[in-house]
Structure 1
Amino acid sequence: MSLKTGSLRVLGALVLGVLSAGVAAQTRTLSADDYARAERFMSYNTVPLVDHAVQKVTWLDDGHFWYVDHDANGDHFMRMDTASGKTTPLFDQAKLAAALGKADGKPADAAKLSVTGYEARPDGKIDVAVRSKHYVCDLAAVEASCVDRATLVKTGKEPGALSPDKQSEAFIRDWNLWLRDVASGKETQLTTDGVEDFGYATDNAGWKHTDNAIVEWSPDSKRIATFQQDQRKTGEMYLVGTNVGHPKLEKWKYPLVGDKDVTMIERVIIDVAAKKVTRLKMPPDQHRSTLCDDASCGPDGGWDDVKWAADGKTLAFVSTSRDHKHEWFRIADAATGKVRTVFEEVVPTYYESGNGAVNWRYLPETQEAIWFSERTNWGHLYLYDLTTGKLKRAITSGDGNVTEVLKLDPKMRTVWFRGVGRTAGVNPYYQQFFKVGLDGGKPVLLTPEAADHAVTLSPDGKAFVDVYSTPTTPPVTVLRDAQGGRTLTSVAVADITRLKAAGWVPPIPFTVKGRDGKTDLYGMMFKPTHFDASKKYPIIDYIYPGPQTGSVRGRSFSSARADHQAMAELGFIVIALDGMGTPWRSKAFHDAYFEHIEDNTLPDQVLGIKELGKQYPWIDLDRVGIWGHSGGGNATAAAMFHYPDFFKVGWAESGNHDNRNYEDDWAEKWQGLLVIDKDGKSNYDAQANQSFAKNLKGRLMLVHGNMDDNVPPYQTLLVADALIKANRNFDLLIIPNAHHGYAESTPYATRRRWDYFVQYLAGNTPPHEYQLKAWPWR
């Protein structure tokens, strides 16, 4: 070696040493106080600091509703008289707290009552729902008292579906449908031929399985529409718990993509008084919905794609093909079971009937139906003639979507609906409220403010409560006239003075261009409250790719969106971006990666982050992290495998990494039916994350609950197995006895995620085993 060469090498070593020392000097050890400051921005700390933000309104009758008004002194349950605009206490909170405390054996705080339901009884008592229990309370007595409603009438514990007249509830026992008299508790068996895996009204979509009865009562409470669900040939899923001694095996029916035999339903109508079952005269139907992954999309256990005539004599319903491309609008005679197909719609990708709720309606009085379709690239309402099955006219048209029909008045021939993207200059995700005539005319905007509007109509449809806000402006709650949108009275104006005093700052809405270079994509950015523009910050991308929802999750005001601001406090820029392929925009936008779910909006995420990096020099594009849960866990692993030089650190929770191992309905809707070529290759090969695990370069943590009955843990183990075979380093956290959500283990998993990004993305040292608050789960 020459002297010159040796000198250069020594000089190079000195330079590298200086650079290394510089990097080391930039790293720091975070303290428990740093984490505590971040924790101040978790929802359980920020939500109590927002005053007068109405979260929910419940109408008591046409002229009265109740809500919770919160301030520094706690929660106040209020009742408003819409005629006068005056408010009064819904009940005596001190008395109720004392009575509940005696009934439950645990002290109840009058300022923090967990009352979620309320009903006044004819006898002067009140019925209140507190978490999972119902109490009948007498607050007028000398000594107020509450009694657990379940002890008043001895009945079975099966959850019931209440009839419209509130006299009866339908429930499942031993695979058959039963009736329970609410007042006496008397139980009557309605069906007798239900057997295991071929039961009545059973709620088992695979990913979701409950004891609820899926039924649709007729308006007069005399008939029940339901089905006998055939899962006798459906494959099973297995999970094993963690405990001392013999493990507990859980098994249930769980159809997979490509299975020859999947769950089918045989539609029936039950005459309650006669206990007569009339089977509809049609072949077994797919266990599918026009809206979601289950026959029952709503939390109340109703059957969304079934609607009765007011007289209970006929029933309209929609059948959906296995691949969601073909819909049949049908009408059944309740007495005979005869079925008539009125019209059909076939689409090239997938059909959906709206956002949030099924939007079609049955108008038997005029032999018409309102139908929802995206045939013009936007979601609109159409009027059909039920006699001929022909289209009469489009009810709505133009750019922008009808998202949810909230009310139909057949006599006034008017429909009220929520919509997005219909007002020029307004954020296309902001929901506004409209009314329109069935016989033509331009929709009338009832909520003109450029904000996201949450609307609750009165039972008679004459008025509605409107809570409107944006991500940066707190909610205003008003009562409005449903005919023209005129403000009748103010209900509440939120005050975030205490929230700001605690250091809260709003997220920063932003737009970037999509993969096509033209389409605006909308996201939110979270910066540390101690932000310093002279520094370089690593960036973390929170992702949920859809296609059924997106990463941002709503555009109304929130004091905390997940833990995005909390993570930003630890020295990061955090973003959430809705890429192409997510809903609420045009049909073409939503279809962006149809049949290519491996896309996961990642092209848009990468381009969007790069655009932000060019715009803001304080974003460090050499330190990009990504994390998500469920579909976001899938997308996170895919990001680390398909863009290994861009994403350096990933945290993938409970991902559906190969949808051939997920329930049939979800993936067959977005990826299509499984097709296997002669050479053994399939249209599902590219979406399997384990096939690309060998590409991993960065740091990846895989997380899963071992009792996840939505996305089974084998999904993550497939990826782990592939990483081991590829000799790649990775991290794995299995949470014992946790389901798809981590429940009591969530604070632990959250803290570990913070630690992971602090250590491997920021290059800092986290505090040792910081304890996050265990917030309530039930």
Structure 2
Amino acid sequence: MHSTMCTSRLYGALVCGLLVAAATSGNAMADGRTLTAQDYAQAERYMAYNTKPLVDHAVSTVHWLDGAHFWYLDHDASGDHYLQMDASSGKASPLLDQAKLAAALSKVSGKPVKADKLGITDFRVAADGRDEIEVGGKHYLCDLKGAGQCVDKSTLVKTGKEPGVLSPDRKQEAFIRHWNLWVRDVATGKETQLTTDGVENFGYATDNAGWKHTDDAILEWSPDSKQIATFQQDQRQDGDMYLVTTQVGHPELQSWKYPLPGDAHITMIERVVIDVSAQKVLRLKMPPDQHRSTLCDDVSCGENGGWDDVKWAPDGKTLAFVSTSRDHQHETFRIADTKTGEVRTVFHEEVPTYYESGNGAVNWRYLPATNEAVWFSERNNWGNLYLYDLTDGKLKRAITTGDGNVTEVLKVDAKTRTVWFRGVGRTSGVNPYYQQFWKVSLDGGEPVLLSPEPADHSITMSDDGKYFVDSYSTTAAPPVTVLRDANDGHTVTTVAKADMSRLLATGWQPPEQIIVKARDGKTDLYGLMFKPTHFDPAKKYPVIDYIYPGPQTGSVYTYGFSPAQVDDQSLAELGFVVVAIDGMGTPWRSKAFHDAWYGNMGDNTLPDQVAGIKQLGQRYPWIDLDRVGIWGHSGGGDATADAMFRYPDFFKVGWSESGNHDNRDYEDDWAEKWQGLLVTNKDGSTNYDSQANQLIAKDLKGKLMLVHGTIDDNVPPYNTLLVVDALIKANKDFDMLLLPNQHHGYAADTPYITRRRWDYFVRNLAGDTPPKEYALKPWPWK
């Protein structure tokens, strides 16, 4: 559901293919091709690891060093180039001596490092003037101006290995050890214990959302690096999840706390503020809070950790936070006094379905200097910003109004009273999924569009709010990256213009953006369609629907440029038309659109998928509606099996990976947000029955493959086994593939599963014969 989903592919003899085709469709029998290894190699040409390196100067991410300088990675046929730009002059220069760094890293690591493939993930100038560089998860201090020497930073100071959260002044980092919170001095490695009463399953800052459980500490440092806001997390009465490894001899038992929907006891948090120098813990004067977020299904939503719904005042005297109810229908804005622990409730928002504070980031802000708060709400059916008075909790005004969503607030300048935000659907005639960039005053007035191009914009602002780097693209046009003035959006300089001529030379073609009507016959749905590069309009092509039903995201990875979206083009290359449609119930559109099937997760956007594909079949004579397949991972795996059971005469072949087939067997926060709290009726039925795939498995008619990792700690494999048990009891034929010792993402097994999935559709949907045991290239990260 939440972690990376990996794919799978392929399955023959000609006779077997024809027999399957006969059972599937008469059209398939007419083909009966035998595919070769060369056919599969042609498909593999369009995997991301082959296409992405062929796009030159596709700069999409930059890293600001200070208000006037940023560094970025540029790439071309000669390799990777690390550059830095002076925003005031618009001039770019090498970030560092790559040859000297490669030699130094090779020496310190004992492994050869290529100058054109350094793999730098972080860079900054250390206090002593050396360059601090992160490569492969390790931090090095490098003198590149002199002899060119690097030292592994971890060897300089002998200290614990627990992952830490760095303080704003970069002098300390906080970490968890034995359920208590500690800090270590970065320079000396000296460690100090801050809490002493943490015990097993009632520890400080612990990161356990059931589906996610790490050693990271969840906390927020005060701006002056003197205090820490965190919690003591009570899981002592939570239910356990169990998995076992596959090995010779006794298996290893893995167990951890994993609450489920309807459980009487779920994870709770007790909020605390810690004075670091005094090692004093102040418990806020309020009852325990739910382990919930205004945005996601963990209290830490972002990739870089942090506690999203907690904001410090600049002076550290107060702390604002939002409490979310178990069902996500009640949000309470509170302010705590960090000296006394007193908590004041300021205002409250209640919604009939679920509240979210944005898309991609928590959007509320705390402005203590003026006693105000910026608040995000979908109260007018769209995601807009509102200004509240923290003195009395009253609404002062709407900051943004009208149709279209504020998706992500990037910066609020309290002095100039300006908000910069990304938004969608706010410009008439522009694809409603294209992110654009705006600024607006806290005091009212129309928002100013700072990125006018009708494209998807990725934005990185400087810390001081003077500049932003804008990388914009469409599915057909690779990114143009420019430096812009944050006041009026004018272009200061061009950072890079992507060149995809090497990619086009392979025969690559962009997907086609499609628009179809939803189940209601009125609402526009957007999606992508992939056709073979050798497409022949005189032929009939089977259709494969790649699905992720939401509700937290959709089937289309991006409407911006991507040289490969999952493996949709590769699969199309084998003789299919592949579609991805963002149906109702997925985000980025109106609140009503997103709420379309709240409380009925068995919907899975399937009525929209069927309606959309039928329209495409009527629109294009080369689409064969008698041969429709479907596949997905996680939520898409759930939707795939659901489609095969609920629409057995429409979907003929399904490949279901790691599906959460019954959310009563998935972590509590996910389902209780989208389906509601579990209610059991007098007759034993529940409001969750409609989403349980095992209850309709008896309706299977087509070919279904079920795939799951045996130690999937996100969606436990028992979800798939519930469906397997029901299929057996219904005397249904099906296929199953279990991946020993694999998690929710399939890691080193990904190429194998990808190939097997290709085989499965080639054999069972197209009626063709795949080459035997074609070996896909191992993924680059393995």
TM-score tier (shorter): over 0.9
* 2:78 is the counterpart of 1:62: no
Report what 2:359 is aligned to: 355
Report the alpha carbon displacement of residue 82 of structure 1 after superposing the two structures with TM.
1.1
Residue in 2 that maps onto 1:6: none
Paired with 2:714 and 2:355, the residues of 1 have a C-alpha distance of: 23
The 2-side partners of 1:480 and 1:199 are apart by 46
- After superposition, the CA RMSD in angstroms is 1.2
CA pair 539-20 structure 1, distance change in 2 beyond 3 A: closer
Which of residues 90, 93, 105 is equivalent to 1:88? 93
Q: CA deviation at 1:20?
A: 11
Residue matched to 1:7: none
Decide which of 421, 430, 450 is 1:417's aligned counterpart. 421
Q: Which has the higher contact order (CA 8 A, sep 6+)?
A: 2
2:132 maps to 1:127: yes
Match of residue 118, structure 1, among 106, 114, 123: 123
Q: CA deviation at 1:145?
A: 2.1
Structure 1 residue 446 and structure 2 residue 450: aligned? Answer: yes
Mapping of residues 375-394 of structure 1, within 5 Å: 375-394=379-398
What does the per-residue CA deviation read over 1:459-506, in whole Å, with 9 as the maximum and x for residues that have no partner? 110010000001111100000000100101111000000000011101
Aligned counterpart for 1:38 among listed residues 36, 39, 43: 43
C-alpha separation in 2, matches of 1:388 and 1:140: 57
Correspondences of 1:2-13 after superposition (within 5 Å): none
Q: 2 CA distance for matches of 1:536 and 1:25? A: 11
Cα distance in 2 for partners of 1:391, 1:458 equals: 30
Q: How has the CA–CA distance of structure 1 residues 25 and 417 changed in structure 2, closer, same or farther, with 3 Å as cutoff?
A: closer
Q: Does 1:678 align with 2:682?
A: yes
Structure 1 residue aligned with 2:306: 302
1:202 corresponds to: 206
Displacement of 1:766 after TM fit?
A: 0.3
Cα distance in 1 for residues equivalent to 2:185 and 2:26: 77
Q: Does 1:547 find its partner at 2:551?
A: yes
For 1:213, what is the secondary structure of its paired residue? coil
Q: Which amino acid aligns with 2:164?
A: G
Of 132, 137, 144, 1:139 maps to 144
Aligned partners of 2:781, 2:252: CA distance in 1, in Å? 24
Output the CA distance in 1 between the equivalents of 2:701 and 2:29. Answer: 22
Q: Tell me the equivalent position of 1:190.
A: 194
Letter in 2 for 1:676: T
Deviation at 1:775, TM superposition (A): 1.3
Asked whether the equivalents of residues 242 and 254 of structure 2 are also in contact (C-alpha less than 8 Å), the reply is yes
Counterpart check, 1:52 vs 2:64: no
Q: Which moved more, 1:110-119 or 1:36-45?
A: 110-119
1:713 alignment partner in structure 2: 717
Cα shift at 1:47: 0.4
Q: Distance in 2 between matches of 1:635 and 1:130?
A: 39
CA contact (8 A) 2:106 2:112 kept: yes
What does 1:87-106 correspond to in 2, within 5 Å? 87-106=92-111
SS for the counterpart of 1:584 is coil
| Counterpart AA for 1:85 | G
1:690 aligned residue: 694
**Could you tell me how far apart the structure 2 residues matched to 1:111 and 1:170 are?**
35
- Partner residue in 2 for 1:623: 627
Shift of 1:55: 2.8
Counterpart residue number, 1:477: 481
| Residues 21 and 490 (structure 1), Cα distance of their counterparts in 2 relative to 1, 3 Å cut | closer
Alignment counterpart, residue 772 of structure 1, candidates 769, 773, 776:
776
1:123: Cα distance to partner?
Answer: 2.7
Task: Tell me the CA shift for residue 132 of structure 1.
Answer: 1.4
Which digits, 9 at most, give the CA deviation of each residue in 1:334-380, with x for residues without a partner? 00110000000000000000011100010111111111000000000
* Structure 1 spans left out of the alignment, 5+ residues: 1-16
C-alpha deviation, 1:312, in angstroms: 0.1
Q: CA offset at residue 300 of structure 1?
A: 1.9
For the pair 1:761 / 2:765, whether they are aligned, the reply is yes
Q: Aligned to 1:551, what secondary structure does the other structure show?
A: coil
Alignment of 1:553-592 (within 5 A): 553-592=557-596
- Structure 1 residue matching 2:216: 3-state secondary structure: strand
Aligned partner of residue 363 in structure 2, secondary structure: coil
Cα distance in 1, alignment partners of residues 698 and 30 from structure 2: 34
CA distance in 2, matches of 1:763, 1:330: 61
Q: CA deviation at 1:25?
A: 5.1
Q: Distance in 2 between matches of 1:402 and 1:382?
A: 11
Q: Name the amino acid aligned to 2:680.
A: I
> Which position in structure 2 is the counterpart of 1:251?
255
Matches within 5 A, 1:473-622: 473-622=477-626
SS in 2 for 1:111: coil
SS at match of 2:726: helix
Residues 81-115 of structure 1 show CA distances to partners (whole Å, capped at 9, x for unaligned) of 11111111111111111111111111111111111
2:642 alignment counterpart: 638
> Within 5 Å, which residues of 2 pair with 1:144-183?
144-183=148-187
Aligned twin of 1:701: 705
CA shift, 1:776, in A, is 2.5
CA distance in 1, matches of 2:747, 2:257: 24
Distance 1:245 1:24, change over 3 A: same
Offset at 1:24? Answer: 4.5
- Counterpart for residue 14 of structure 1: none
What SS does structure 2 have at the residue aligned with 1:315?
Answer: strand
Task: From the superposition, tell whether residues 674 and 151 of structure 1 become closer, same or farther in structure 2 (CA, over 3 Å).
Answer: same
Relative distance call for 1:408 and 1:21 in structure 2 (3 A) is closer
Answering whether residue 652 of structure 2 is matched by residue 648 of structure 1, we say yes
Letter in 2 for 1:100: L
Give the number of aligned pairs.
760
Determine if contact 2:102/2:113 at 8 Å carries over to the other structure. Answer: yes
Counterpart contact for 2:659–2:719, Cα < 8 Å: yes
Structure 2 residue runs without a partner (length 5+):
1-21
1:107 maps to a residue whose letter is: P
Output the CA distance in 1 between the equivalents of 2:163 and 2:524: 46
* Aligned 8 A contact 2:28 2:766 in 1: no
Look up the match of 1:406: 410
**Structure 2 residue 336 is matched with structure 1 residue 332:** yes
Give the whole-Å Cα distance in 1 for the aligned partners of 2:433 and 2:482.
21
Give 3-state SS (helix, strand or coil) of 1:581's partner.
coil
Name the SS of the counterpart of 1:606 in structure 2.
Answer: helix
State the distance in 2 between where 1:334 and 1:378 align: 35
d(CA) in 2 for partners of 1:86, 1:222: 39
Structure with greater Cα Rg: 1
Residues 21 and 560 (structure 1), Cα distance of their counterparts in 2 relative to 1, 3 Å cut: closer
User: Matched residue of 2:116: which SS?
Assistant: helix
- What is the alpha-carbon distance in structure 1 between the residues aligned to residue 305 and residue 504 of structure 2? 40
| Aligned counterpart, 2:270 | 266
Counterpart CA distance in 1 for 2:731 and 2:46 is 39
Deviations 1:294-332 (A, max 9, x none): 011012220000000000000000000000000000000
Aligned to 2:31: 26
Cα pair 2:28 2:765 within 8 Å, conserved: no
Shift of 1:603: 0.1
Q: Is the 2:373–2:387 contact (alpha carbons within 8 Å) kept by the matching residues of 1?
A: yes
